[in-house]
Amino acid sequence: MKLSDNVQACHLSPIRKFYPFAMDAELSGKKIYYLNIGQPDIETPPIFFEAIRDYSSKVLAYAQSPGEPELIRSIRRYYRRLGVNYNREDILITTGGSEALLIALLCIIDPGSEVIVPEPFYPNYDTFVKAAGGRIRPLETFAAEGYNYADRGRLEKLINENTRAIMITNPNNPTGNSLTEKQLRLVTKVARDHGLFLICDEVYREFVYDSDKIFCAGKYRDIDKNIILIDSVSKRFSGCGARVGMMISRNQELMAQALKFCQGRLSVATLDQVGANALYSLDPSYFDKIKAEYKRRRDVCYQKLSSIPGVVCTEPKGAFYMMAKLPIDDAELFQTWLLTDFEDNGETVMFSPGKDFYATPGKGIDEIRIAYVLEEDKLARALDLLALAIEQYNKR
């Protein structure tokens, strides 16, 4: 029996595919510092768990397919604080931001459609685009330029009759690039002028380190028909296990079609929505402390990496990731070796190899993505291990 071409075109996640080696390493007694996955160790606000404990019903019923009204009202209030007004019908609650991305792409892509995505990019973008029958048209960026892609000429050069959308993460995963307001406006105008959808993934919106301004592409009303916002509670509130995201657009024709998929999967978990609703009641000052914590971690990560001979990296401006080019032959081989052959005082480190963050063949082979989601002392130790491992790996 034949499996679909779409699924066979997809790849395993570079963020998760080394877990079998990690499990074996832990069974052998090694301690692993996990820098491969964006799972913050910051405490989830207790209000989330309190709301679930206080929930009382004789029957745990399906939630409404578009999302629970109380949660949607809370999200609308959150966006009003950002100066962006949405109506109830502009928001669909999804099982994490991942489902929001998949639903959006299923609604706008036909077989052979192309989506312009700056590379390196979040690898699941490639999975979801291929699942919908399309392909990524990569926009090359460079570390020396801070991975900037807000250039009209470079964007327009990639647009053709098959182009359906531009898809960006702002702030960016995996590079940490954060668009200025001027740069964001340029990207929105390119999408508008060429009649393209702009899928703007803003799940790291609050985590920008060199500015107090929070930009949301939803503020630009001349692209109401073009823009699809992707959002989530996972990173914002350190609630990755609460699978609550959202697809947001003022394009009501699009949203009416997306509702078909929401109804088809019935609903997002009721209790997750109850907890998420409570999270959106937190005062905005909550983010000041969290942002300061991530900035300290960013500084440790950048300083440590920059001091390793042969490593090339750029200081990230947002999110909690950074890309680094290592003086090694192959990051996947290196990661396997780290888990199977390397240890220092019983400890080793895990990252995400960079190849699958690119659509261009041959790129990212000697690059890695690091998620600086550990406490400062643990992060420093992990990067010291990386430095020692590079030295030993190249002496084999």
Q: How many domains does the chain have?
A: 2
Rounded CA-CA distance 349/372 in Å is 12
8 A C-beta contact, residue 117 and residue 159: no
240 with 320, same domain?
A: no
266 with 302, same domain?
A: no
Residues 287-314: tens digit of each pLDDT: 999 999 999 999 999 999 999 999 999 9
Instruction: Supply 291's token pair.
Output: 């942002």
239 with 317, same domain?
A: no
The chain-wide mean pLDDT, for the chain, equals 95
Q: Which of 259, 279, 299 is the last residue of a domain?
A: 279
Q: Does residue 146 have a pLDDT over 70? A: yes
Q: Which of 230, 249, 279 is the last residue of a domain?
A: 279
159 with 225, same domain?
A: yes
8 A C-beta contact, residue 265 and residue 95: yes
Q: What is the pTM of this model?
A: 0.94
37 with 142, same domain?
A: no
Rounded CA-CA distance 100/288 in Å is 27
Nearest CA to 385 out of 25, 40, 32, 39 is that of: 32
Question: Residue 173, Cβ neighbours under 10 Å: how many?
Answer: 26
136 with 273, same domain?
A: yes
161 with 205, same domain?
A: yes
Nearest CA to 349 out of 389, 294, 306 is that of: 389
Question: Residue 5, Cβ neighbours under 10 Å: how many?
Answer: 10
Its domain, for residue 293, covers 5-43+286-393
Instruction: Supply 48's token pair.
Output: 């989330």
Sheet holding 245-248, edge to edge: 91-94, 245-248, 227-232, 197-201, 163-169, 114-119, 135-140
Instruction: Supply 330's token pair.
Output: 């192959």
Q: Does residue 13 have a pLDDT over 90? A: no
DSSP letters along 94-127, please? ESHHHHHHHHHHHHH--TT-EEEEEES--HHHHH
Which band of pLDDT confidence, cut at 50, 70 and 90, is reported for residue 169?
very high
Residue with tokens 């890695």: 368
